[in-house]
Amino acid sequence: MSQVPECEVLRQAFAGALVADALAMPVHWYYDRAALRADYGAVDRFLPPRPEHPGSILHRSHYAAENPKGDILREQAAYWGQSGVHYHQFLQAGENTLNLQLARALHALVVGAGGYDADAWLECYVEFMLSPGRHRDTYVEEYHRAFFANYSRGKKPRACGIEDQHIGGLAQVAALVAALPQAEEKTLRAVVRAHVSLTHRHAGVLRAADVMVRLLVALREGQPLRTALLAVGGDFFSERKSLGYAQQPDETVVGRVFSPACYIAEAFPAALYLAWKYVGDFSAGIVANARCGGDNCHRGAVLGALLGAAQGVPERWMQGLLSPPP
């Protein structure tokens, strides 16, 4: 059975997502694990990012707003196109990346309104992204750039999303489910699908989001995490294969078996595998995820939510989080 009281399970899931993202933030998108260790050591506590990132590809990334309705880079635009710039250079130790800051805004909106409304969220999202200095994060994912390119060209917000296939599309799932703690599974699945499809219309992302909701509901009801993974993990998870993977180092599994990159087809199974392996040890799980590099922030948001819901988030992590959940 879950070690967390039922009324608290989903709040702990949201907290776990925030913690795992903040821990991975300084080592986000390190694909050279030797460089990761040299720059940040064990990554067993919240750390601030170094000004430079040896694997940064911001020098290859470009986004030019056509008008003020697309100006989401604002003061960060000067750093795009430069070499060695850290994606999250201005964030502090224990601070969340942009997608998890948006998750916190979503949670506050839904709780305050007493329910989810897509148009209200889209209004909040647009205001958040176009407000100068709102988040201080240098990097904005492809789906944000595509959304606001469409928005700046006059498309209605509901029509601005794209078929994005990245695990960043799951970053807000735990926050949304936690904001509706008493909702039935059918309702939660429908709400999450509607919400994720506003920005990520990719079938694989929507299917993974649905699996994540079903896992969180199972954990809310007291089902053990490994039992839930077997019941609803589908083709994203195999216990037989996981038993074999567990004989190898995490950096081999999330590196050679599963890509450490952001594509949902491998990033989501990697998160589920780490959740299975580290059930009962939240700290070991999120540290292992951070050390694997790649898109460890968004992979961590899934992993942290599942481990947090399964057993709760240790207080030391909550104390170090710059903006803990309410």
pLDDT digits (tens, 9 = 90+) for 100-153: 999 999 999 999 999 999 999 999 999 999 999 899 999 999 999 999 999 999
Question: Is residue 4 scored above 80 in pLDDT?
Answer: no
What is the 3-state secondary structure of the chain? CCCCCHHHHHHHHHHHHHHHHHHHHHHCCCCCHHHHHHHHCCCCCCCCCCCECCCCCHHHCCCCCCCHHHCCCHHHHHHCCCCCECCCCCCCCCCCCHHHHHHHHHHHHHHHHCCCCHHHHHHHHHHHHHCCCCCCCCCCCHHHHHHHHHHHCCCCHHHCCECCCEHHHHCCHHHHHHHCCCCCHHHHHHHHHHHHCCCECCHHHHHHHHHHHHHHHHHHCCCCHHHHHHHHCHHHCCHHHHHHHCCCCHHHHECCCECCCCEHHHHHHHHHHHHHHCCCCHHHHHHHHHHCCCCHHHHHHHHHHHHHHHHCCCHHHHHHCCCCCC
CA distance 90 to 93: 10
- Kindly state the average pLDDT of the residues 301-325: 96
For residues 95 and 323, the answer to whether their CB atoms sit within 8 Å is: yes
- Kindly state the average pLDDT of the residues 217-223: 97
Domains and CATH numbers, the chain: 6-320 (1.10.4080.10)
Lowest mean pLDDT among 13-22, 42-51, 60-69, 99-108: 60-69
CA distance 168 to 262: 7
CA distance 310 to 218: 10
pLDDT of residue 61: 87
pLDDT of residue 2: 41
Encoding tokens for residue 209? 């989001």
- Name residues whose C-beta falls within 8 Å of residue 113's C-beta, 6 or more positions apart in sequence: 120
Angle between helices 9-24 and 296-311 (to 10 degrees): 150
Over the stretch 174-211, which tens digit does the pLDDT of each residue have? 999 999 999 999 999 999 999 999 999 999 999 999 99
pLDDT of residue 1: 37
The amino acid present at 217, given as its one-letter code, is V
CA distance 222 to 204: 27
pLDDT of residue 6: 60
Question: Is residue 3 scored above 60 in pLDDT?
Answer: no
